[in-house]
Amino acid sequence: MSALIEQYDALVCDLDGVVYRGPEAVPHAVESLNGAQASGVRIAYATNNASRPPADVAQHLRELGLDAQDDSVINSSMAGASYLADHAKAGDTVLAVGGAGVGLALRAQGFDVVSELPTDKRVMAVLQGYGPAVTANDLAQAAYAIQSGALWVATNTDLTLPTAIGTAPGNGSLVGAVRNAVDRDPVVVGKPGPLMYVMAAEHLGSAPHRTLGIGDRLETDVAGAAAAGMDCLHVLTGVHGPSDLVSAPPQLRPRFVAEDLRSLAQQYCEPQRRDGWWMIGDAGCRMSKDGQYALEWHGQPVGVERLRLALPTLWGTIDDGKIGLEQAVTTWMTSQ
């Protein structure tokens, strides 16, 4: 059995909750990614956080100890500007809402970038991304432009953003505020859409089936990787934990689950179906029913191996209509 990383040529790795939380590195992330890169695996970093320019993000990664080049960072502002380049022309006026990364990505595509509605020209589009200093007036300017017919593109709709202090409102919360004032929804270009993953794979020169997505959010990272035709490793260092995985619908179920990025260099044994059990080596799990459904264990699986065995067992029982999502989560919790 080979290490997980040996199955792939490249990685497209999320940042918040996977590599860092605010200014601090997630435990084991830096040495694991450096080890993967030293083995010849190419790495790009794809983040829905549109606020910072890629060069600033890359500098942050280097300060944490990673060997990251400026062009290895792809953010949702770049995806938004790329989308607009296909739907508008260079020189068109675009209202930028968010951090410095939003305007930088738009200028790189040749757009005339403004932060407030001009009086002498029409705003053709609005690109709205996250920024820690976004104000009520910024959101109002976006609403006015959209009401006047501007194309509205949102970099992402993540409702929350993990930080070193706690969980903060994300761009989705700000997009929701604008949506309350207008009569239509934005085009969303970041995760869970495939565009950033496609851009990353093209930059890395890797085919999707030979590229592994890595993330901590099911509805963005797992969904985005799947949309681009990639497998996904879900790490339990960020937003979504075991109970979220148990209740995930089929389209949001990752192929791989690990505690952290150390799993890249470790052997990864996927559960196999055998005689009614889901097995990893000599350890197994199946659903039993003695008055109520419960997980039955073979051997002594512990930690993340226990979760890896429980997930296909519970997912199959959910998909067969035998238990609901809440009952599945309760079944998992009571098995601990």
Output the CA torsion sign for 196, 162, 13, 113. positive
Q: Quick check: 317 and 323 in contact, CB under 8 A?
A: yes
Q: What span, in angstroms and rounded, lies between the C-alpha atoms of 123 and 142? A: 10
282 tagged catalytic:
no
Contact 126, 154 (CB under 8 A): no
Task: Decide: residue 299, CB within 10 A, 0-12 exposed, 13-18 middle, 19+ buried.
Answer: middle
Between helix 136-147 and helix 171-179 the angle, nearest 10°, is 50
Tell which residue, 297, 299, 298, 278, has the closest CA to residue 336: 297
Structure tokens belonging to residue 240: 């979504």
| CB burial of residue 287 (10 Å; 0-12, 13-18, 19+) | buried
State the Cα–Cα distance between residues 1 and 270, nearest whole angstrom.
10
Active site residue 14: yes
Pairing of strands 125-128, 256-258: unpaired
Q: How far is CA 281 from CA 163, 197, 270, 273, 278, in A?
A: 38, 34, 10, 11, 10
Q: How many helices (H) and strands (E) does the chain have?
A: 11, 19
Residue 91, Ramachandran bin (φ over 0: left; ψ between -120 and 50: alpha; else beta): left
Q: Of 63, 16, 77, 22, which Cα lies nearest the Cα of 214? A: 16
Which residues are designated catalytic?
A: 14, 16
